[in-house]
Protein backbone atom coordinates (compact mmCIF):
# COMPACT_ATOMS: atom_id res chain seq x y z
CA UNK A 1 0.00 0.00 0.00
CA UNK A 2 2.80 2.42 0.85
CA UNK A 3 4.43 1.78 -2.52
CA UNK A 4 1.14 2.46 -4.35
CA UNK A 5 0.55 5.68 -2.41
CA UNK A 6 4.10 6.81 -3.10
CA UNK A 7 3.62 6.25 -6.83
CA UNK A 8 0.37 8.20 -6.80
CA UNK A 9 1.98 11.06 -4.93
CA UNK A 10 4.79 11.19 -7.47
CA UNK A 11 2.31 11.18 -10.36
CA UNK A 12 0.29 13.99 -8.88
CA UNK A 13 3.12 16.12 -7.62
CA UNK A 14 1.35 16.44 -4.29
CA UNK A 15 2.17 19.52 -2.29
CA UNK A 16 1.80 18.83 1.44
CA UNK A 17 2.72 22.38 2.43
CA UNK A 18 0.88 24.36 5.05
CA UNK A 19 -2.68 25.50 4.56
CA UNK A 20 -1.54 29.13 4.26
CA UNK A 21 0.71 28.48 1.29
CA UNK A 22 -0.19 29.19 -2.31
CA UNK A 23 -2.80 26.74 -3.66
CA UNK A 24 -1.60 24.68 -6.61
CA UNK A 25 -3.50 24.94 -9.87
CA UNK A 26 -1.91 21.81 -11.37
CA UNK A 27 -2.67 19.06 -8.90
CA UNK A 28 -5.05 18.28 -6.10
CA UNK A 29 -3.73 18.53 -2.56
CA UNK A 30 -4.42 14.98 -1.38
CA UNK A 31 -4.50 13.71 2.18
CA UNK A 32 -4.03 10.02 2.89
CA UNK A 33 -5.37 9.83 6.44
CA UNK A 34 -9.17 10.03 6.54
CA UNK A 35 -9.48 10.87 10.26
CA UNK A 36 -6.88 13.66 10.18
CA UNK A 37 -8.38 15.11 7.01
CA UNK A 38 -11.87 14.97 8.53
CA UNK A 39 -10.65 16.96 11.55
CA UNK A 40 -9.05 19.52 9.21
CA UNK A 41 -12.24 19.75 7.14
CA UNK A 42 -14.30 20.38 10.28
CA UNK A 43 -11.81 22.99 11.48
CA UNK A 44 -11.87 24.78 8.09
CA UNK A 45 -15.62 24.21 7.63
CA UNK A 46 -15.06 22.54 4.24
CA UNK A 47 -16.65 19.49 2.65
CA UNK A 48 -14.58 16.46 1.69
CA UNK A 49 -13.87 14.89 -1.66
CA UNK A 50 -13.02 11.23 -1.00
CA UNK A 51 -11.47 9.29 -3.87
CA UNK A 52 -11.35 5.52 -3.37
CA UNK A 53 -9.10 3.57 -5.69
CA UNK A 54 -8.21 -0.07 -6.00
CA UNK A 55 -4.76 -1.54 -6.58
CA UNK A 56 -4.03 -2.37 -10.21
CA UNK A 57 -7.15 -0.53 -11.40
CA UNK A 58 -6.52 1.00 -14.82
CA UNK A 59 -9.62 3.21 -14.61
CA UNK A 60 -8.41 4.55 -11.23
CA UNK A 61 -5.01 5.44 -12.69
CA UNK A 62 -6.67 7.04 -15.70
CA UNK A 63 -8.89 9.16 -13.45
CA UNK A 64 -5.88 10.31 -11.44
CA UNK A 65 -3.75 11.17 -14.47
CA UNK A 66 -6.43 12.74 -16.66
CA UNK A 67 -9.37 13.96 -14.58
CA UNK A 68 -7.41 15.04 -11.49
CA UNK A 69 -4.30 16.52 -13.08
CA UNK A 70 -3.76 19.78 -14.97
CA UNK A 71 -7.43 20.72 -15.24
CA UNK A 72 -8.84 24.23 -14.92
CA UNK A 73 -11.01 23.22 -11.93
CA UNK A 74 -8.15 21.92 -9.74
CA UNK A 75 -7.66 25.27 -8.00
CA UNK A 76 -11.38 25.34 -7.15
CA UNK A 77 -11.19 21.81 -5.70
CA UNK A 78 -8.19 22.77 -3.56
CA UNK A 79 -9.96 25.87 -2.28
CA UNK A 80 -13.40 24.32 -1.74
CA UNK A 81 -12.66 20.75 -0.54
CA UNK A 82 -10.36 18.75 1.66
CA UNK A 83 -9.41 15.93 -0.72
CA UNK A 84 -8.63 12.43 0.49
CA UNK A 85 -7.29 9.52 -1.54
CA UNK A 86 -7.42 5.99 -0.13
CA UNK A 87 -6.84 2.51 -1.44
CA UNK A 88 -9.70 0.06 -0.97
CA UNK A 89 -7.35 -2.78 -0.04
CA UNK A 90 -5.72 -0.61 2.61
CA UNK A 91 -6.02 -1.06 6.34
CA UNK A 92 -9.54 0.42 6.46
CA UNK A 93 -8.19 3.91 5.96
CA UNK A 94 -11.72 5.28 5.84
CA UNK A 95 -15.17 4.36 7.22
CA UNK A 96 -15.93 1.64 4.69
CA UNK A 97 -19.37 1.03 6.21
CA UNK A 98 -20.40 4.58 5.24
CA UNK A 99 -18.66 4.78 1.86
CA UNK A 100 -19.06 1.23 0.65
CA UNK A 101 -18.61 0.45 -3.02
CA UNK A 102 -17.71 -2.54 -5.14
CA UNK A 103 -16.98 -0.42 -8.21
CA UNK A 104 -13.81 1.59 -8.67
CA UNK A 105 -12.83 4.32 -8.80
CA UNK A 106 -15.41 5.94 -6.55
CA UNK A 107 -15.55 9.61 -5.63
CA UNK A 108 -17.69 10.76 -2.72
CA UNK A 109 -18.50 14.35 -1.80
CA UNK A 110 -19.18 14.60 1.92
CA UNK A 111 -20.30 17.16 4.47
CA UNK A 112 -17.59 17.24 7.12
CA UNK A 113 -19.96 17.96 10.02
CA UNK A 114 -22.00 14.74 9.72
CA UNK A 115 -20.33 12.74 6.90
CA UNK A 116 -23.50 12.81 4.80
CA UNK A 117 -23.42 13.09 1.02
CA UNK A 118 -23.40 16.50 -0.66
CA UNK A 119 -24.59 14.78 -3.84
CA UNK A 120 -24.52 11.34 -5.42
CA UNK A 121 -21.10 9.72 -5.61
CA UNK A 122 -19.31 9.35 -8.91
CA UNK A 123 -18.77 5.65 -9.52
CA UNK A 124 -16.29 4.58 -12.17
CA UNK A 125 -14.07 6.59 -14.45
CA UNK A 126 -15.36 9.95 -15.59
CA UNK A 127 -13.80 12.30 -18.12
CA UNK A 128 -12.59 15.73 -17.05
CA UNK A 129 -15.36 17.72 -18.77
CA UNK A 130 -18.13 15.63 -17.21
CA UNK A 131 -16.44 15.80 -13.80
CA UNK A 132 -16.26 19.58 -14.11
CA UNK A 133 -19.97 19.75 -14.92
CA UNK A 134 -20.83 17.76 -11.81
CA UNK A 135 -18.67 19.66 -9.34
CA UNK A 136 -19.51 23.14 -10.60
CA UNK A 137 -23.33 22.80 -10.49
Measuring CA to CA, how many Å separate 67 from each of 26, 92, 107? 11, 25, 12
Q: What is the pLDDT of residues 77-91, one digit of tens each?
A: 999 999 999 888 766
**For residue 89, what pLDDT is reported?**
75
Pick the CATH number of 23-135 from 3.30.1300.10, 3.40.605.10, 3.40.30.10, 3.40.250.10: 3.40.30.10
Q: Which of 50, 56, 61 is nearest to 122 (CA)?
A: 50
Cis peptide preceding 105, ω within 30 of 0: yes
Residue 64 contacts residue 123 (beta carbons within 8 Å): no
Q: What is the pLDDT of residues 55-78, one digit of tens each?
A: 999 999 999 999 999 899 999 999
Domain ranges of the chain: 23-135
pTM, two decimals, is: 0.78
Buried b (16+ CB within 10 A) or exposed e, 1-23: eeeebeebbeebebbeeeeeeee
Amino acid sequence: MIKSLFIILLLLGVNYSSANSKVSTRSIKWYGDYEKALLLAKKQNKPIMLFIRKKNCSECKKMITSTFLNQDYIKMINEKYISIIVTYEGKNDYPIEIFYTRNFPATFFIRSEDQSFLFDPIIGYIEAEKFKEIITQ
